[in-house]
């Protein structure tokens, strides 16, 4: 009897399945936090690539799975284009498509390389997990970097996330990919079950290490009381001539609220307004200095724009209680297309300008990371919005005592973006052992302690103030002392081991 040939699965069905695998991999990200879905989906990715009949097929499979992952994880990317929908709305679907495919290339290229480097299913699987780990790290650097929705971010809200204090974000990604890889290495049901058990043991081990770190007592809080002001200024109305003065009045009124009696009497030691909080330039702030000082009754850090000739800056400025301008910090890592336009002159011909900057030509870059000193307060490192997603921007050589992030997450919509941004701020606190406070225009404003625990928040799309004592810092973490060097060394050793194994196999 002639054997019936196996039916070939239609291309559309395979593509749909791969896209669904990718979307499942995104479910571990905030706000969903379903990290088991990410581990299982990445195991499916590794298996699909390792069993592909060719390197080209492996790359196409990874591209489809990666596109599904980034389309869901970065779906908020459409929101900035909808703020001025009549002008930029047409870009929204293209932004999502290009972002999904651009992110997917960071999975497809490792799949292509892994399939060519491996000599069987297990070696290809191991090579892919390693290549994805390297790709995760590179994504924070290439084209100025976008280390958003890394595979390791799924652990931030779990005890396992504490290993970032030792191994940083690459350590979290290594945990995710190792847990996904181990079951795929097996070739029999028994070996697969053994791999799954080892995966569970690895997660349990890191979970336990995280619990042990969380069980250690924290030092007492600092005596200073910080007020974070959340005005909840709708981005579509923020610069409207009618609404802008009302939002400014809201900021001053919130700043003037009495202190919570449970925290003491008098005024806060510091009042913080979010990114680009006011409708005027720092150059024109003279009339507002006394007004803000009178309402706040304390030093006020104001997110504000300033100009130097034709150059505009997205800045954080100190307004002193005696109505002077003190220290000023200028944002230096700008958002491509949002705050500046790559190839700006050419794209301007098509009407494409920096939509997030009130100056059509975009912002200029500040000089770089710095530590700010405000009288009566411990020194701190300011980060403006997007800068907080880059671990490399933390000033490890000049250790501050806390980190301050001012941001306008109204650009990220209300679904996933603000929560993912908050999660990455928590990761900076875990890595550094420094408390992080964030003042967000529409939320989520938060007080985060030196282990990344959120002590207090102001919910999304709510106006109000958050008064809290400044948490104390922990001693410098291993990551703070060495950065990503330990993980980069381990990654280099793994690559070398794979290369040696391949060469030895060829020798036989």
By annotation, the residues acting in catalysis are 275, 331, 385
Task: Tell me the C-alpha distance between 299 and 322, whole Å.
Answer: 9
Strand 464-469 with 299-308, pairing: unpaired
Task: Tell me the C-alpha distance between 21 and 337, whole Å.
Answer: 30
| 415 touches 76 (CB < 8 A) | yes
Radius of gyration of the chain (CA): 25
Structural tokens at position 90:
């047409």
> Could you tell me which residues are beta bridge partners of residue 316?
303, 329
Tell me the three-class secondary structure of 454-477, residue by residue: EEEEECCCCCEEEEEECCCCCCCC
Alpha helices in 371-416 (DSSP H): none
Q: Is 245 in a helix, a strand, or coil?
A: helix
DSSP letter string, 256-270? TSPPPGGG-SS--SE
| 445 touches 407 (CB < 8 A) | no
Task: Tell me the C-alpha distance between 293 and 287, whole Å.
Answer: 11
143: left (phi over 0), alpha (psi -120 to 50) or beta: left
Structural tokens at position 271:
């009042």
Task: Tell me the C-alpha distance between 70 and 326, whole Å.
Answer: 42
| 432 touches 394 (CB < 8 A) | yes
Inter-CA distances, 38 with 25, 64, 117, 197, 424, Å: 4, 16, 25, 17, 18
Which residue is it, tokens 């992110």? 103
| 130 touches 491 (CB < 8 A) | yes
Q: What angle do CA 152, 153, 155 make, to 5 degrees?
A: 80
Alpha helices in 27-91 (DSSP H): 35-50, 55-73, 79-83, 85-88
**Helix axis angle, 55-73 to 92-117, nearest 10°:** 140
Q: Is 302 in a helix, a strand, or coil?
A: strand
Phi, psi at residue 104, to the nearest 5°? Answer: -65, -30
């Amino acid at each position: 009897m002639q054997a019936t040939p196996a039916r070939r699965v239609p291309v559309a069905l395979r593509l749909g399945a791969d896209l669904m695998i990718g979307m499942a991999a995104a479910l571990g990200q905030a706000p969903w936090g379903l990290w088991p879905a990410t581990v299982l989906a990445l195991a499916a990715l590794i298996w699909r690539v390792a069993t592909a009949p060719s390197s080209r097929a492996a790359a196409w499979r990874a591209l489809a799975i990666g596109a599904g992952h980034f389309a869901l994880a970065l779906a908020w990317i459409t929101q900035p284009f909808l703020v001025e929908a009549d002008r930029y709305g047409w870009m929204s679907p293209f932004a999502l498509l290009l972002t999904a495919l651009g992110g997917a290339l960071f999975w497809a290229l490792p799949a292509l390389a892994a399939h060519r480097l491996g000599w069987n299913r297990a070696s290809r699987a191991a090579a892919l997990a390693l290549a994805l780990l390297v790709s995760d790290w590179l994504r924070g650097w290439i084209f100025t970097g976008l280390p958003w929705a890394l595979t390791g971010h799924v652990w931030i809200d779990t005890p396992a996330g504490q290993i970032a204090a030792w191994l940083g974000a690459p350590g979290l990604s290594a945990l995710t990919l190792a847990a996904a890889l181990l079951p795929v290495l097996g070739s029999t049901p028994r070996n697969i079950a053994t791999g799954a058990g080892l995966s569970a043991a690895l997660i349990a081990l890191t979970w336990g290490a995280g619990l042990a770190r969380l069980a250690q007592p924290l030092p007492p809080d600092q005596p200073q009381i910080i007020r974070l002001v959340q005005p909840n200024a709708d981005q579509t109305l923020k610069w409207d001539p009618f609404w802008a003065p009302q939002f400014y009045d809201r900021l001053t009124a919130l700043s003037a609220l009495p202190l919570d009696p449970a925290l003491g009497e008098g005024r806060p030691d510091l009042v913080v307004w979010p990114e680009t909080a006011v409708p005027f330039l720092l150059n024109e702030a003279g009339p507002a200095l006394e007004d803000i000082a009178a309402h706040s009754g304390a030093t006020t850090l104001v997110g504000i724009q300033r100009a130097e000739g034709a150059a505009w800056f997205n800045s954080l400025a100190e307004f002193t209680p005696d109505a002077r301008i003190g220290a000023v910090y200028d944002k230096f890592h700008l958002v491509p297309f949002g705050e500046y336009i790559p190839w700006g002159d050419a794209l301007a011909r098509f009407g494409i300008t920096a939509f997030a900057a009130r100056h059509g030509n975009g912002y200029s870059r500040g000089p770089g990371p710095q530590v700010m000193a405000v009288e009566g307060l411990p020194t701190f490192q300011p980060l403006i919005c997007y800068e907080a997603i880059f671990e490399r921007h933390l000033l490890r050589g000049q250790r501050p005592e806390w980190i301050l992030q001012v941001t306008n997450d109204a650009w990220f919509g209300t679904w996933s973006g603000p929560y993912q941004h908050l999660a990455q701020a928590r990761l900076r606190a875990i890595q550094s052992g420094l408390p992080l406070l964030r003042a967000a225009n529409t939320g989520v404003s938060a007080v985060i302690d030196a282990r990344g625990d959120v002590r207090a928040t102001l919910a999304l799309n709510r106006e109000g103030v958050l008064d809290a004592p400044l948490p104390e810092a922990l001693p410098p973490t291993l990551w703070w002392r060495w950065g990503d060097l330990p993980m980069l060394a381990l990654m280099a050793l793994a690559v070398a081991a794979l290369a040696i194994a391949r060469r030895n196999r060829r020798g036989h």
